[in-house]
Amino acid sequence: MSNSSFKLLETILYEPGNGFYLLEHHLHRLQTAINDFQRIDSALFHNDLSNQAIIDHLNIVPQDGDYQRVRLLVDTNSNVTVEHTQIPTPKFSFESLEEAAAVDSNISIILDSKPFDLEVDDPFVVHKTTRRDMYNLSRERTHCDWDASAHKPFDVVLWNKEGNITETSITNIAVRFLIDGKHVWKTPKVKCGVLPGVFRSFLLQKEEMIEDAITTQELIEAQKKGYPIVCFNSVRKAYRVKLLLTIVTKIT
pLDDT in tens, 32-43: 999 999 999 999
User: How far is Cα 241 from Cα 146, in angstroms, rounded to an integer?
Assistant: 14
pLDDT at 117 over 90: no
pLDDT of residue 32: 97
The pLDDT score that the predictor gives to residue 4 is: 54
Enumerate the domain spans of the chain.
7-87, 97-251
What average pLDDT score do residues 112-118 get?
Answer: 93
The residue with greater pLDDT, 110 or 117, is: 110
pLDDT tens digits for 119-172? 999 999 999 999 999 999 999 999 999 987 778 999 999 999 999 999 999 999
Dist. CA 125–CA 169, nearest whole Å: 11
pLDDT of 249 reads: 45
Q: What pLDDT is attached to residue 3?
A: 46
Name the more confident of 244 and 2. 244
Work out the mean pLDDT of the chain and round it to a whole number.
94
Which candidate, 157, 159, 162, places its Cα nearest to that of 173?
Answer: 157
Domain 7-87 grouped into CATH 3.30.470.10: yes
Q: What is the rounded distance in angstroms from the CA atom of residue 148 to the CA atom of residue 206? A: 32
Instruction: Name which of 18, 3, 14, 32 is nearest 197 in CA terms.
Output: 32
CATH assignment of 97-251, given 3.40.50.360, 2.60.120.620, 3.40.50.12160, 3.20.10.10? Answer: 3.20.10.10
Bridge partners of 159?
165
Separation between Cα atoms, residue 79 and residue 213, nearest integer Å: 37
The model's pTM is 0.94
Q: How far apart are CA 177 and CA 218, in angstroms?
A: 9
Fold: same for 7-87 and 97-251 = no
pLDDT for 246 beyond 80 = no
Q: Look at residue 86 in the predicted model and tell me its pLDDT.
A: 96
191: Cβ contacts below 8 Å, ≥ 6 apart: 120, 121
